[in-house]
Amino acid sequence: MSGKKHRFITPYGDSVGDGAVQLSFTLPGVTGETAREAARRLAAKMGVDDAYVSACEDIGSGMSFIVLYGRTKHSIDAGEIEKYLADRRATPEDVPGMKIIDAMIKEKLGRHIVVLGACIESDAHTVGIDAIMNMKGYAGDYGLERYTNIDAVNLGAQVSIEELVRRAVERNADVLLISQVVTQKNVHIKNLTRLVELLEAEGVRDRLILVVGGPRISPELAKELGYDAGFGKETLPRHVAYFILNKLLESEKIS
């Protein structure tokens, strides 16, 4: 196999372009030959041809663990991926540092920005929200608490949606910064959707900037759920601070 780049990428097994893949998954409610046939049919629906079930183990409670080999008919355009990643990297690279952003808040906005941050509902993973909000920050980039012109309040973990909305109204917040790390059974989607619905019901959605972050959060998903922005891995506090400032300037029609 050579190190030559390929425009269209497909999995490699014995030879380049053969599409060979190995899948493993668990099937509930079936065992034995029924499970093997179910796995083969499922593989066909996933676009995997010549499916061979090499292992089908009964793991108890009527469940089967499957290991399957086959060949996918699909490929990915590497050129499209490079363009997508370049577009996502463009904005963060242009973001100024904390001192400049802080000075811009004072000069252009002329007041402090109130930011409330929280991990909502059952989510207890505060690493992300702490990295963005706590004074020490992350990767040498100071957190929002360090900004002179940002009043940052980190409410911590497992904050109920009702409590967050109440605190936002009480503090007359400009921004809600939400962290969602737990994604099992799409619980993050349900939580984020319910927050937007409650803010709308309380009549305060339009005067708040909603920002969500987490390892499974993309800008596209955030927009789809009704948020103003979504940040994923490698986000620094200044990325969030600069977005908030520009969004406020835009909403208050300040150039």
Q: Which residues are catalytic?
A: 136
The two tokens of residue 74 are: 């699909």
CA distance 111 to 105: 7
b/e per residue 125-153 (b: at least 16 CB within 10 A):
bbebbbbbbbeebbeebbbbbbbebbbbb
Concatenate the DSSP letters of all residues of 33-71 into one string: HHHHHHHHHHHHHTTEEEEEEEEEEEEETTEEEEEEEEE
Helix (H, G, I), strand (E, B) or coil at 209: strand
Burial class (CB in 10 A: 0-12, 13-18, 19+), 79: exposed
Question: Is 61:44 a contact under the CB 8 Å cutoff?
Answer: no
Residues 6+ apart with CB under 8 A from 199: 165, 168, 205, 208, 210
Task: Give the closest residue to 205 by CA, choosing from 178, 231, 175, 230.
Answer: 175
- Which is it for the CA torsion 92, 93, 99, 104, positive or negative? negative
Strand stretches in the chain, DSSP E: 8-9, 20-28, 48-60, 63-72, 76-77, 113-119, 150-154, 175-179, 209-213, 229-231
